[in-house]
Amino acid sequence: ERTRVAIVGAGPAGLLLSHLLAAAGVESIVVDARSRQEIETTIRAGILEQGTVEVLDGIEGSRARTVGHRHDGIELRFAGEGHRIDFPSLVGRSVWLYPQHEVLKDLIAARLAAGQDLRFSASVTAVHDVDSEPRVVGTDSDGAPFEIRCDFVVGADGSRSVVRPAVAGDRGNGAFREYPFAWFGVLCEAAPSSDELIYSNAPDGFALISQRSETVQRMYFQCDPSTDPEALSEAEIWDALQRRVPGTHLTEGPIFQRDVLRFRSFVAGGLRRGRAALVGDAAHTVPPTGAKGMNLAIADVLLLGDALRRLLVEHDERGIDAYAETALRRIWKAQHFSWWMTSMLHAVPGADAFDRQRQLGELRGVIESEAGQRFLAEAYTGWPLPSSF
């Protein structure tokens, strides 16, 4: 069968792209190896930049602004003291706490209501002929083989992308960084412990106190990447969290999910080849500190959606030819921000007295300077989309 754009991956990037293309009159098919249930229940990120919320506002039924919670600041805590960064007074913007799986429920419902061809449990095994007439081959939910011919194929299929090799070659072609720590993440049934998110640099490691709702909280603490999530008792988890946010008493409750998140930075060696391109985690990975992952995927898609409209409707190749270079400017700013927040806030194994004091000096440099705070607030709430990439 044939379509104009084959989109591999029904995450935030792939679903938003199908929406933008449909609005431009361009037909697409979206395929994802996961079931709808898995996509709608997997716990991922929580923070949306203001620009991301504005994009979602344009989608019928999006609840990001109404059910999500506006956050006007975060707290940086170090050396036993908390320091609030107030976004509206610094940059006139805010962020929204609205879980990624809720974004996905909204997007899937909107795309299905609009008649989008959206195929779950359909795994792509290979992408061929991206330099001429792309073909996407795989196995559908019944186990039957499929082949989709298209004008353009987009890899929106996450960090283990099957489209990436066809665009960028193997992994070795990219820029890669691994970190000597990870996050132990928990979801618990408890009331919020703080009105706003707390990013805490404590002597025995970093902790982030985030939220999901009035009754469910999300918290993370720095751990060794080899940590087995099942190895700690609930008491040990609460002890690790409590010790890392001195000055705040965390409201405890049953922990019903735990996971260990690896820290990596990655940018693929190419984002576009012929009639194929990559967006979101297929193109890049950031460590979670600063919550840039999903927001960066949305920024890629705004750019690629416009480039594909120009290519497929107006037969103008300039947007698609500029896609990689333009997207990479924002991607590397987000890479720097995520790396910076990570290195400024975590206890680095093997750090000596100089490293530790230098880190506290850096944190003081940020919070004691309005310019420093504004730099952080601009990045956290999101650089403008998309004209000033």
Please, where are the H alpha helices in 73-196? Answer: 87-91, 100-113, 164-168
Residue closer to ligand DHB by CB (options 186, 385) is 186
Indicate the residue type of 233: S
Residue reference for tokens 């600041």: 73
Residues in the interface with ligand DHB (CB under 6 A) total: 11
Locate the DSSP E strands across 203-283.
205-211, 216-223, 255-267, 272-273, 276-278
Given candidates 94, 161, 289, 295, which one binds ligand DHB under the rule CB under 6 A? 289
105 belongs to the catalytic site: no
Among this protein's residues, is 288 annotated catalytic? yes
46 lies in the binding site for ligand DHB (CB under 6 A): yes
Residue nearest to ligand DHB (CB): 46
CB 337 within 8 A of CB 284: no
Strand, coil or helix: what is 295? helix
Cα–Cα distance list, 213 to 44, 65, 290 (Å): 14, 14, 19
Query: 19, 71, 284, 346: which is the annotated catalytic residue?
Result: 71
> CB under 6 A: which stretch of 23-31, 78-86, 124-132, 286-294 binds ligand DHB?
286-294
Comparing C-alpha atoms, which of 297, 288, 293 is closest to residue 261? Answer: 288
Nearer to ligand DHB, 56 or 208 (CB): 208
Stretch that binds ligand DHB, among 133-141, 235-243, 287-295, 329-337 (CB under 6 A): 287-295
Listed ranges 76-84, 229-237, 288-296, 299-307: which one lies at the site for ligand DHB (CB under 6 A): 288-296
- Our answer to whether residue 292 is catalytic in this structure is yes
Region from 14-22, 27-35, 40-48, 360-368 binding ligand DHB, contact rule CB under 6 A: 40-48
Beta bridge partners of 81: 78
Known active-site residue 179: no
One residue of 5, 45, 241, 271 binding ligand DHB per CB under 6 A: 45
Q: Active-site residue among 192, 292, 323, 346? A: 292
- The two beta strands, 2-8 and 145-155, are parallel
199: annotated active-site residue: yes
CA 246 to the chain's CA centroid: 29
Q: Which of 7, 47, 223, 271 binds ligand DHB (CB under 6 A)?
A: 47
213: helix, strand or coil? coil
The answer to whether residue 218 forms part of the interface with ligand DHB (CB under 6 A) is: yes
Q: Does 138 bind ligand DHB (CB under 6 A)?
A: no
Q: Which of 210, 217, 222, 373 binds ligand DHB (CB under 6 A)?
A: 210
Contacts of 138 (CB under 8 A, 6+ apart): 31, 122, 123, 124, 125, 126, 145, 146
Cβ(303)–Cβ(386) below 8 Å = yes
Q: Which residues bind ligand DHB (CB under 6 A)?
A: 45-47, 197, 208, 210, 218, 288-291
Q: Catalytic site residues?
A: 71, 199, 288, 292, 380
